[in-house]
Amino acid sequence: MTTATPAATAVDGAAKTGRPGRRGRPATGVGRPGFAWAAPAAVFFGLFALVPLVLVVVLSFARWNGLGSPEFAGLENWSRLLDDPVMVKSLWLSLLLTVLGVVVQTPISILLGVWAAGRQRNRAVLSAVYFVPLLLSITAVSVLWRAVLDPNFGIPSQARWLFGDGNLLGTQAGALGVLVFVSTWQFTPLHTLIYQGAARAVPEVLYQAAQIDGAGRVRQFFHITLPQLRNTIVTSMILMVVGGLTTFDTILILTQGGPGTDTTNSAYYMYQKAFKSFDFGAASAIALLLVLVATLVSLILVRLTGYDRMRSTMEGV
């Protein structure tokens, strides 16, 4: 296996491995690209994603305020976090927001996705409109909703019968509801689209057979569509879980973690620890915790549904 220096461009790499490969290697390797083709991307990605992931582990055991060098601090950050009521609360809030997000978004996007998988013209147009929220930055979406929900100038001021005094973000339940609603608004299109693609791949014969057997639409949905979408449901849920646990921009713009610390989830708390209190050690510990929880939840989802058997075929490159 040839190795390449990070600086080597793809084309240089080709020249290096391509020719010796053609002569020197066994027949299967003839004319195949060597590792050097993957190396520049791997190095670049490693530098900004994998090295930092290792560094975050190191920093979680260090004291560092952003100036000077990090100092080894043992388990200090971790023991401080375990005693920190805001931290514990933030973890629960992260999980709550994630669960609410999955519970609200999954049924809506399955139904919309299966519906949109039909082939009439108006569905294509509607799906195109649905898509718009997904294009907007989370920043733009949060700013937009904050304006729309403004207690004095927004929609609540027009519909007091529905919103009461209109200060939705002033209570914990209201603020959490708004956060779940806004991420549903933005990300349902993505999941709808994923389900739409998968629903189109369900073999039409299954429905035809069911129809001959006299199964109605509802039964077809539960006995054919849903089981066929199983792998897609897992993919979509994993995306929701990772997205839900790391909700940050929305909170920064819509609630600033408030009222009080009632919407301070772990991702937002990490940002505060790092870039407001300059406690980068504690922030790293929280970040690591988030990755661990996200991985754990994803693994559980994968195992529970037997998705890993499919995944291993996908990875068999």
74-133 binders of another protein (CB under 8 A) = 108, 111-112, 114-116, 118, 123, 126, 128-133
By CB under 8 A, the count of residues binding another protein is 117
Q: CB 92 → another protein: shortest distance, Å?
A: 18
Q: CB 91 → another protein: shortest distance, Å?
A: 14
- Mask: binding to another protein, 232-271, rule CB under 8 A, as x and -? x--xx-xx--x--xx-xx--xx-------------x--xx
> Pick from 21, 101, 166, 174: which binds another protein (CB under 8 A)?
21
Choices 78-86, 91-99, 148-156, 166-174 (CB under 8 A): range interacting with another protein: 148-156
DSSP string of 155-186, one letter each residue: GGGT-HHHHTT--GGGSHHHHHHHHHHHHHHH
CA 160 from chain centre, in angstroms, equals 35
Examine residue 305 and tell whether it contacts another protein (CB under 8 A).
no
Type of residue numbered 158: Q
Q: What are the CB-based long-range contacts (under 8 Å, 24+) for 47-56? A: 53/291, 56/284, 56/287, 56/288, 56/291
- Mask: binding to another protein, 171-190, rule CB under 8 A, as x and -? --------------x--xxx
Q: CB 85 → another protein: shortest distance, Å?
A: 22
Please tell me the distance from the alpha carbon of residue 47 to that of residue 38, in angstroms, as a whole number.
14
Cβ contacts of residue 56 below 8 Å, gap of 6+? 284, 287, 288, 291
Nearer to another protein, 49 or 304 (CB): 49
Nearer to another protein, 5 or 295 (CB): 295
Nearer to another protein, 84 or 154 (CB): 154
Residues 59, 279: contact at Cβ < 8 Å? no
Please tell me the distance from the alpha carbon of residue 254 to that of residue 149, in angstroms, as a whole number.
10
> Pick from 5, 6, 9, 260: which binds another protein (CB under 8 A)?
9
> Pick from 42, 96, 99, 215: which binds another protein (CB under 8 A)?
42
Examine residue 275 and tell whether it contacts another protein (CB under 8 A).
yes
Q: Two tokens at 278?
A: 């300059």
Please tell me the distance from the alpha carbon of residue 206 to that of residue 208, in angstroms, as a whole number.
5
Examine residue 154 and tell whether it contacts another protein (CB under 8 A).
yes
Examine residue 45 and tell whether it contacts another protein (CB under 8 A).
yes
Q: CB 61 → another protein: shortest distance, Å?
A: 13
Examine residue 11 and tell whether it contacts another protein (CB under 8 A).
yes
Examine residue 65 and tell whether it contacts another protein (CB under 8 A).
no
Question: Counting beta carbons within 10 angstroms of the beta carbon of residue 252, is it exposed (0 to 12), middle (13 to 18) or buried (19 or more)?
Answer: middle
Examine residue 317 and tell whether it contacts another protein (CB under 8 A).
yes
Q: Two tokens at 124?
A: 């294509």
Neighbours of 63 (CB within 10 A): 16
Q: Which residues make beta-bridge pairs with 72?
A: 62
